[in-house]
Structures are given as C-alpha cells and as structure tokens.
Amino acid sequence: MNFKLVFRTIGFLILFETILMAFCLIPGFYFGENVKGLLMSVSIAGIVGVLLTVVFQKKQLTMNRKEGYLIVGIVWIVFSLIGSMPFLFTDSVDNFVDAFFESMSGFTTTGATIFADIEVLPKQIILWRSLMQWIGGMGIVVLTVAIIPMFGMGGMQLYTAEANGPAKDKIHPRIKDTASRLYLIYIACTVLEVILLMVGGNSFFESVILALSSLSSGGFSSQNASVMNMSPYTQYVVMFFMFISGVNFVVLYMAIRGNLRTVAKDDELKNYLLVIFCVSLVIILINLWKWGSFDDVELQLRTVVFQVISFLTTTGFVISDYSLLPSASMMMFFILTFFGACAGSTSGSIKIVRITVLLKNSYLAMKQILHPNAILTLRLNKKPISEKVISNVYAFIVMYILIFLLGALALTFFGHDFYTAFSSSALSISNVGIGFTSSGMLLEFSSFPAASKLLMTALMLIGRLEIFTILLLIMPSFWKK
Amino acid sequence: MRTKILLSVALALGIASLVLLILNAADQKTITILLVVGLVCVSVEYFASKKDSKGNEE
C-alpha cells in the first residue's frame, strides 16, 4: 500500500475543502458576524492540507485499486472531522459528537440535523451546512460515475460492466474529463436554480442555500420549517431540481447534448418517473379515501408529489407535516426511503436500477418454474445482464437490509423505542435525514444519546458509500500484501 | 523549487494566522487577507502542477 500517495491525495482534497470553507467568510463579513471561529477552522484545515501535501511528496503517482478504496473510504471521515470545526469554533454546538454528526450528515447529504433552531445560527454556518452537502453530492456523482466503476463495484457497474444504456457510454473516455463534465453540469444546474429562485422573490442567500441543498439531495434548509412556509413557486422550483438530483448525471448530460432518443430508452429513468407517478397517485387516493374530499386540489397534488420526490431522491425537505397523513400514506413514504433514485445521481439508498434487477429476476425465477427448459435472460435497456452483476445486486441488497436491521437493533439498546429506532436506522443508511416517531415527524436529533449519534454517522457513511467501499476496509485480506 | 516556495508560504501564512487568532493580536480582516493569500498560493501551485503533468504527458 502506497500510504504516501494516499496521504498526499487526502492533503490535496483537504485543501479543496479549505478553499470552499473560506467562501463562508463572505456571508460572515457581509452580515457583520464574528468570523474568528471560521478563520480558525480555515487556518487549521489549510495547515493540515499543506503539511500532508508537502510531507508526503512522491513522484510515483499511479494509484492501484486498494489505494483507491482507502482514499474513498477515509476521505469522507476526514472531511467530516474538518467540517465539524466551524460548528465547534463558532460555539454553534457545545460538543464534538454533535458537530461531527452535523458534519457527516452534511457530507453524506443525509440532512439530519442536531439544531432545534436553525434560524438563530450565524449565516456563515448556515452556508457551511449547505456547502458541505453540495461538496458531498458532487463527490458522490463523480465517485459513482467515474471512479467506483473502475474498481468494479456499485450501482453504476450495471452500466459500465454490462455496456448498455447511455450511462455506460462514458461521456468521455478519460475519467478526468468525465469528472469535469459532470462538475460543469452540477455547477450549471446550481447556478440555474439560484437564478430561478431569485426570480421568485427569494433573497440571494436563501436561494443559494436552497440550491446547494436540493441539487445535492441534502435537505438542509435555512428555516426551521424546511420549505413549508415558502411560496408555491419556490416549492415547485425546489421540487424540479430535487427531481433532477435523482437523475443519472450521465443521462442528464446526454439530454443536454440533445441525445434524447438514448435518454428516452433508459429503463431506470422510465422506472424513476413511473415510481413518482404511481406512488403519488396511490397516496392521493389513500388521502382521498380517508378524508373524503380535498379543500384545495392543487395544494394536495403539490404537497404529495413534493414529498414523494423528497423521500425518493433521499433529499429530506419537508413541505407539510407528513405525520398527520393516514398511516398507509406514511408507510408509503417509509418504503420509499429504501428506494432511492437513479444510479449516478446524488441520491442515496438502494437505487431504482437495483430494485429493477431484483424484481425482474424474481419474475424470471417464477417464469422458470413454469417453463423449466426455457433459457431466460434478464435484460436492462434491452441488453443482457450477467449472473455476476445480478449476484452483486443481491449481495448489496442483503447487506443493506442486514445493516439497517442491526442498526435499528443497536439503537434500541441505546434506549430508543421501536418506532424511532427503525426510522432512525432507515433515515441514516438511506441518507434521507427525516423520519417518523410514534408521536410525529423525526426532524432533529439533539436529544439523542452520543452513542446513537455516532452509530447513525457510521450508518450514514456506510449507506452513502454503497456499503462495500466501507466493508472492504474492515476485511483483514484488504490489508494483506 | 516552485512547489516548495509556494507551499512554504501558504504554510507560514496559515500558522501565522492561527497564532494571531489565538493571541487575539489582529483583526478579522487582516487574518482573512493572510489566509486568502495562503489559499491563492495553494491554488497557483495546484494549477501549475496540473499544467506540468499535462506537459509531461504530451
């Protein structure tokens, strides 16, 4: 293992984080806040980054698989450790666990918060929370589309390994170029959302916060009530960009390039739209059946579709008190927590492409019972999927459910009731950030014991990095020469 | 040589800002300027090394 290269790369990434952290000084100065805590964080992060880059200089820069896994695995932890400094040094939180929880929740784009009152926080901290999500979202897109497929794992393997659909066609043969094209789309979408939000009368600061949090499928808001009190126009804009955040960025690139025929053929995108449509329809029908009629049809439609997209893309914005809905509707939202949107998007959870493979394979298994001699092949985007990839999908889903259940079990040991433990485990591993308790919505976690918060940060990280990236690091064989 | 100079300057500015902050010996704007200059040095080094590696590839 070339540790010099690992530390040097992490040093460079820390410097990148430092530069973005320094941007939070702008609202600090603009709104006349005390920025000493943030300056302290920037200087410490900068010193650590420069030291790692200088001390671990090495001419040989070829990275192998194991080093790639290690960097991917630990960079999220290092980023979260450094990201927790502004919370501590500005006295926004009084202990390390809370700061680390908020930071990990940001970088993993979970959006679970320990702050009961967000509106009293300094503007620099509100921006840093959203910026962490934006960095995390950008990292995940590049990681899943350009880097993880190199190692032969993750949801995108379905595309890269099997050579089908638009996503597999790497936008450009070189990973660096692929990454820069994805960054450009990500930045362009963010700028567009900021402009559209400002057109609707939102302040520049508010628009930036919403854009950073929605496009990264993060869900941190600058208001305690999330997006509940915002105008319908703002909610529609946020809803649209949440939807965009759930689309595979390679498919998005194809759409921007005008390659609409290829985009229209993408099975995962079709299924993504189908899930939004069907689940929204079912929830509206359940609500109608329970309440008899709606006072405001547009409001009902907007509320349900927004909340469905928010859960499906694992963003976690809240448009209304969803815990007041009928139990069946709440159960639908809970199930959506495990879906996730498209592979290669900023969303977390299992991902629609894996669920599609699972369901198609189950259907074929039943068909095989009826026609024992038939040769049945699972196809995605009209191309066959190999047994190896199907087995990877099964392994992923089994591990996902197992870790979710173990997480819920462990949370009950820390004193949480059945309802809260299940919900907290699900919202962490799927990076949704919002959940349910027996008495209503589960939106903030300051009252949780420190052990629960640390466990939840571990679940967030495991879920965000698609499980195997983290599990590989704890395998003894990974560390053998 | 360039790398050493730029990163050393950045490191020195980072340490100086930290010391000034701890000692409460300078105002926020002065420390910000020091840090921004340090981060500019880092950015210049990053882009210059990127250019170098491109040149080597060619």
Q: What is the DSSP letter of B55?
A: H
A204 Cα distance to chain centroid: 24
- A111 touches A316 (CB < 8 A): yes
Q: Closest by alpha carbon to A312, among A379, A409, A219? A: A219
CB A266 within 8 A of CB A345: no
In contact, A17 and A83? CB cutoff 8 Å: yes
Angstrom distances, CA of residue A331 to CA of A334, A412, A435: 5, 21, 11
Q: Give the pLDDT of residue A167.
A: 41
Mean pLDDT estimate for chain B = 83
**Residue pair A1/A67 in contact by the 8 Å Cβ criterion:** yes
For A113, which DSSP code? B
A50 closest CB neighbour out of B11, B31, B43:
B11
CB contact under 8 A, A44 and B38: no
Tell me whether residues B11 and A43 touch, CB distance under 8 A. no
| Other Cβ atoms closer than 10 A to A190 | 20
pLDDT tens across A245-289, in order? 999 888 888 888 888 888 888 888 999 999 999 999 999 999 999
Q: Look at residue A193 in the predicted model and tell me its pLDDT.
A: 96
| 3-class SS shares of chain B: helix, strand, coil, % to 5 | 90, 0, 10
> Is the model's pLDDT at A161 over the cut of 70?
no
* DSSP letters spanning A215-243: HTT----SSTTTTTTS-HHHHHHHHHHHH
What is the number of helices (H) and of strands (E) in chain B? 2, 0
Query: Which of B17, B24, B49, B51 to mutate: most A Cβ within 10 Å?
Result: B17
Cβ atoms of A81 and A36 closer than 8 Å:
no
- Exposure of A171 by Cβ count < 10 A (0-12 exposed, 13-18 middle, 19+ buried)? buried
pTM: 0.90
The least confident of A92-106, A133-147, A363-377 is A133-147
Q: Give me the half-sphere count of Cα atoms (radius 13 Å) on the Cβ side of residue A141.
A: 30
Shortest distance between the Cα of A53 and any Cα of chain B, in A, equals: 9
Residues of B whose CB is below 8 A from A18: 39, 42
The pair of structure tokens assigned to A105 is 């929740």
Q: Binning pLDDT at 50, 70 and 90, where does residue A175 land? A: low
ipTM of the complex: 0.84
> Is A46 in Cβ contact with B35 (below 8 Å)?
yes
**What's the pLDDT score for residue A473?**
86
User: Is the pLDDT confidence value at A201 over 90?
Assistant: yes
Asked if the C-beta of B21 comes within 8 angstroms of chain A's C-beta atoms, the answer is yes
Is there a contact between A424 and A452 (Cβ–Cβ < 8 Å)? yes
Kindly report the backbone phi and psi dihedral angles of residue A272, in degrees, each rounded to the nearest multiple of 5, phi listed first: -60, -50
Q: Which residue of A has its CA nearest to B28?
A: A36
Q: What is the overall mean pLDDT for chain A?
A: 87
- Which range, A211-215, A221-225, B26-30, has the best average confidence (pLDDT)? A211-215
Per-residue pLDDT for B52 more than 80? no
CA neighbor of A38 nearest in space, from A52, A49, A27, A53: A27
